[in-house]
Amino acid sequence: MSNVSYYTAEGLKKLKDELNQLRDVERPKASQAIAEARDKGDLSENAEYDAAKEAQGLLELKISKMEEVMANARLIDESQLDTSKALILSTVKLKNQNNGMEMKYTLVAESEADLKTGKISVSSPIGKGLLGKKVGDVAEITVPNGTLKFKILEITRS
């Protein structure tokens, strides 16, 4: 069964670049390491050869998994998204009703989440709680240490 993943154009490009790096740079390096270890003599007692073969196997597994992710990757058509409510690729300005703090998050696919840059996954508790909300709505979100209430102040597209 395949798992479809949704990506922004930026996220899909990053994924393709990483896969190309593995195929075009790392794969030849692994082959070269095996060739160098093979040249050092008896393969039955050559730990360097065994390590190089194992590293190649792990690399090929990683490439295979990334190729599967790419095969199931779908680009999000931002022009088809409803701008009146919080959806994937929405930037949502919130006010925490518990402490009065305001914050801004962009809702993204799980693979593109990065809290340092304000990008949270739509599958995270806060992301799930914001999905479908409109400006003025209050989202009650249960998190591990209690329930938070956020008032939606503004929704824009990223």
Rounded-to-integer distance, Cα 111 and Cα 109, Å: 5
**Which CATH number is 55's domain given?**
1.10.287.180
Strands 119-121 and 73-75: unpaired
Of 60 and 145, the structure prediction assigns the larger pLDDT to 60
Of 66 and 83, the structure prediction assigns the larger pLDDT to 66
Considering the domain architecture, whether residues 102 and 152 belong to the same structural domain is answered as yes
**Which CATH number is 144's domain given?**
3.10.50.30
Considering the domain architecture, whether residues 46 and 14 belong to the same structural domain is answered as yes
Tell me what pLDDT residue 81 has. 66
pTM assigned to the model: 0.60
- The total domain count for the chain is 2
Last residue of a domain, one of 75, 99, 128: 75
Beta-carbon contacts of 125 under 8 Å, excluding residues fewer than 6 positions away, are 141, 142, 143
Considering the domain architecture, whether residues 21 and 56 belong to the same structural domain is answered as yes
Reported in sequence order, the residue ranges of 24-121 that DSSP labels E, i.e. its strands, are 73-75, 90-96, 102-108, 119-121
Considering the domain architecture, whether residues 86 and 152 belong to the same structural domain is answered as yes
